[in-house]
């Protein structure tokens, strides 16, 4: 710094150049500090970015695993559905067949009951039927006989 007591111009120049050097040193220090700070900030930014990337990769792996489990579950459920649908088709066909058989048997029973009424109301002297006849209205045990189907017919797939 220049003194107020009047210094020579040479010493003034030294002080100015010293002051400029101090300013330059100070600016270099600030520049170096800023550069170090920027490098540290960039390093932290890269670390955050890498951590975010690692988190996303882990999340992706977890979601892929979950997706595979869901796909497996859907495939198993679809297979169960197809098996049950197939079984239902077989059971529907069997139910239709049994319904048709029952309808036929009901028609036969109705015919037999109607025929027995005709024979009973008619002249018994014109029709000699044996005592153990199929058409004997008192012997309807044949109507109560179960109609058996083989296991192969019942559960044929």
Distance (Å, whole) CA 141 – CA 134: 10
Q: What is the pLDDT of residue 115?
A: 79
Least confident among 61-65, 118-122, 133-137: 118-122
pLDDT in tens, 24-60: 999 999 999 999 999 999 999 999 999 999 999 999 9
Across the range 2-12, mean pLDDT stands at 48
Model confidence band, residue 112 (pLDDT cutoffs 50, 70, 90) = confident
Query: Cα separations (Å) of 78 from 14, 61, 145?
Result: 93, 25, 43
Decide if pLDDT at 128 tops 70: no
Q: What is the pLDDT of residue 131?
A: 52
Residue of 133 and 83 predicted with greater confidence: 83
What letter would DSSP give residue 145?
S
Across the range 130-154, mean pLDDT stands at 54
Q: Quick check: pTM over 0.85?
A: no
In percent, the amount of the chain with pLDDT more than 70 equals: 62
Residue with tokens 């002297």: 125
Decide if pLDDT at 7 tops 90: no
Distance (Å, whole) CA 154 – CA 88: 13
């Amino acid at each position: 710094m220049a003194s107020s007591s009047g210094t020579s111009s040479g010493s003034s120049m030294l002080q100015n150049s010293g002051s400029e050097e101090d300013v330059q040193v100070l600016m270099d220090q600030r520049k170096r500090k800023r550069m170090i700070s920027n490098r540290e900030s960039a390093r932290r930014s890269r670390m955050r970015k890498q951590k975010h990337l690692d988190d996303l990769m882990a999340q992706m792996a977890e979601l892929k695993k979950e997706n595979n489990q869901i796909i497996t579950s859907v495939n198993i459920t679809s297979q169960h559905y197809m098996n049950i649908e197939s079984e239902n088709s077989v059971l529907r066909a069997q139910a239709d067949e049994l319904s048709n058989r029952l309808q036929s048997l009901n028609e036969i029973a109705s015919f037999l009951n109607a025929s027995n009424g005709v024979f009973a109301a008619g002249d018994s002297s014109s029709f000699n039927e044996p005592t153990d006849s199929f058409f004997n209205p008192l012997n309807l045990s044949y109507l109560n006989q179960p109609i058996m189907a083989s296991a192969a017919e019942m559960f044929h797939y």
